[in-house]
Amino acid sequence: MARVSDQRYHGSGNIMRILIANDDGIYSPGIAALARAATKFGEVRIVAPDVEMSSASHSITANRPLLYKPTPLAAAGDVQAFRVNGTPADCVALGIHHWEQVDVVLSGINLGTNLGNALWHSGTLAAAKQAVLFGARGIAFSTPSTDAEPDFAALEPWVDRVLRLLLPDTRLTLVNVNLPALPTGLRWTRQSVRHYDGKVVPSKDPMGRTHYWFTVVPLDETEEDTDRWAVEHGMVSMTPLRLHLTNDDELAEARRRHPL
Ligand code: MN
């Protein structure tokens, strides 16, 4: 019988089903940290790409079959884990296919922030978006990546705090969470989208041919209360997102100016 005080049970009295995915690959330390933090909130299963798929965005594999292989993952404790030779969005599709009535997909913890324009190419966020397209909820987690591995033990209390806040609130369907290395608080934020922070860097290959690296550089100017602002100020950024991209203002304007 479900105990009301047990955080693993949600409103219907059923234990919450939490699918964990990422884009860094199943052997990333970030996914094990997220799975460990999630176990106190419900039944947890990991389905993740067999190799790193960062920046895969919401791409899906439509031209070859996918495999779904049980994968022992000591770092994640006794959590069942499966690896897929596909994208983050594929992993969520296969994960939900094999495990009905998933309530929420947690994605990450990504090694590297997903702020502002990064949301367009983030595979971490795509896994959470895919959950929403399948009628579940999605929460993406990211943290800055430097030469040193993130201190996941230090982040765990903050991940726990975010999960205690977000998981019971079913009105929040899709949330992008970014944790600074040493958080001091939580903040609700907007996505920062004012400037594009991509940069093309030309170089030469060993044969003397010109090639290019597309890199992302931080912006100097950051608007207050955006995702980037919060992380730069040491706070955990939580941005509720939506999937519909229609610009309602411009649609209304277009209909008025160009009646068809
Ligand atoms: Mn990644």
Q: The domain that contains 140 carries what CATH number?
A: 3.40.1210.10
Question: Within a domain: residue 226?
Answer: yes
Tokens coding 226: 């955006």
The burial class, CB within 10 Å (0-12 / 13-18 / 19+), for 64 is: exposed
- Structural domains of the chain, count: 1
Q: Which pairing describes strands 68-70 and 80-84: parallel, antiparallel, or unpaired? A: antiparallel
Tokens coding 41: 């909130």
How remote is the CA of residue 178 from the centroid of ligand 1, in Å? 13
SS3 213: strand
How remote is the CA of residue 12 from the centroid of ligand 1, in Å? 34
Tell how many helices (H) and how many strands (E) occur in the chain.
6, 11
* Cβ neighbours around 164 below 10 Å, total: 12
Q: Are 123 and 141 in contact (CB under 8 A)?
A: no
d(C-alpha 141, C-alpha 152), whole Å: 12
Question: Within a domain: residue 193?
Answer: yes
pLDDT value at residue 93: 98
Closest CA to 107 of 153, 182, 166: 166
Question: Within a domain: residue 152?
Answer: yes
pLDDT value at residue 1: 41
Q: Are 46 and 172 in contact (CB under 8 A)?
A: no
How remote is the CA of residue 110 from the centroid of ligand 1, in Å? 5
**Which of the residues in the chain have pLDDT under 50?**
1-5
The parent domain of residue 18 ranges over 6-257
Question: Within a domain: residue 1?
Answer: no
Within 115-177, where are the H helices? Answer: 123-133, 152-166
How remote is the CA of residue 15 from the centroid of ligand 1, in Å? 29
Provide the b/e sequence for 231-257 (b: ≥16 CB within 10 Å): bbeebbbbbbbeeeeeeeeeeeeeeee
**The residue count for the chain:** 260
Q: Are 7 and 37 in contact (CB under 8 A)?
A: no
How remote is the CA of residue 34 from the centroid of ligand 1, in Å? 14
How remote is the CA of residue 23 from the centroid of ligand 1, in Å? 5
Question: Within a domain: residue 48?
Answer: yes
Tokens coding 39: 């176990």
pLDDT value at residue 10: 63
State pTM to two decimals. Answer: 0.91
How remote is the CA of residue 36 from the centroid of ligand 1, in Å? 19
How remote is the CA of residue 232 from the centroid of ligand 1, in Å? 20
pLDDT value at residue 219: 63
Closest CA to 20 of 147, 139, 135, 174: 139
The burial class, CB within 10 Å (0-12 / 13-18 / 19+), for 156 is: middle
How remote is the CA of residue 2 from the centroid of ligand 1, in Å? 36
How remote is the CA of residue 112 from the centroid of ligand 1, in Å? 7
How remote is the CA of residue 134 from the centroid of ligand 1, in Å? 22
